[in-house]
């Protein structure tokens, strides 16, 4: 099994977290998109990383990779056992992909005028802050167990300082900040970090 991974990409890090959490033996070939050989990129119809190759199977969608790995290596499970809970987890992952990731990607690209980037930072901070109270009830993202939803959310939290967002330290956000601290200390998360991603951490 080989994961072709962008060393500074939150979608790639999601998959690396799953590999680390499940202790899956896989060769991780890290590069930047522009440095990746064309014969590798041609595996994906979108010419993007990450790409997971497992024998004759090639997967180019990060969410499909994560679920494939969770099903092929079922222990520890990273999706709930019961159908309703699984559907809720998939819905949360879809929300992150459709509502938050486009903002994160635009902020990382940094190609818009600063006034528009400031507006996007405020929007993303508002969205993330709105879920803070749920971490009083649940240890993880709407769950008492670490799931694929956390694998999607953690790389975004890690990148907030690098895109100009600081989580205010206040009573409202304390449950989210405590969650963030716990996630960042997990061995699976730490093992997933590339050298470039380690440098993103706020001092």
Tokens at 127, concatenated: 């969205």
Which residue segments constitute the domains of the chain, with CATH numbers given? Answer: 2-72 (3.40.30.10), 83-186 (1.20.1050.10)
- Find out whether 127 and 101 touch, Cβ atoms under 8 Å: no
- Residue 3 parent element (H or E): strand 2-6
pLDDT in tens, 96-107: 999 999 999 999
pLDDT in tens, 44-91: 887 889 999 999 899 999 999 999 999 999 999 999 989 999 999 999
- Find out whether 21 and 194 touch, Cβ atoms under 8 Å: no
Please choose, from the candidates 156, 162, 202, 196, the residue with its C-alpha nearest in 3D space to the C-alpha of residue 179: 156
pTM, two decimal places: 0.92
């Amino acid at each position: 099994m080989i994961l072709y991974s962008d060393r500074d990409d939150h979608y790639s890090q999601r998959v690396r977290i799953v590999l680390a959490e499940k202790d899956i033996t896989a060769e991780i070939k890290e590069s930047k998109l522009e440095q990746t050989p064309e014969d590798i990129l041609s595996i994906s119809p979108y010419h993007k990383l990450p790409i997971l190759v497992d024998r004759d199977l090639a997967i180019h969608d990060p969410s499909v990779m994560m679920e494939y790995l969770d099903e092929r290596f079922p222990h520890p499970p990273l999706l709930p056992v019961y159908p309703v809970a699984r559907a809720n987890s998939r819905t949360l992952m879809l929300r992150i992909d459709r509502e938050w990731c486009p903002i994160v990607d635009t902020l990382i690209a940094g190609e818009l005028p600063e006034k528009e980037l400031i507006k996007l930072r405020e929007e993303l901070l508002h969205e993330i802050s709105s879920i803070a109270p749920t971490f009083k009830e649940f240890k993880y993202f709407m769950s008492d167990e670490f799931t694929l939803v956390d694998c999607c959310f953690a790389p975004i939290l890690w990148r907030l300082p690098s895109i100009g967002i600081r989580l205010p330290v206040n009573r409202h956000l304390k449950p989210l900040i405590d969650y963030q601290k716990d996630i960042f200390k997990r061995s699976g998360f730490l093992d997933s970090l590339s050298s470039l991603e380690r440098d993103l951490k706020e001092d």
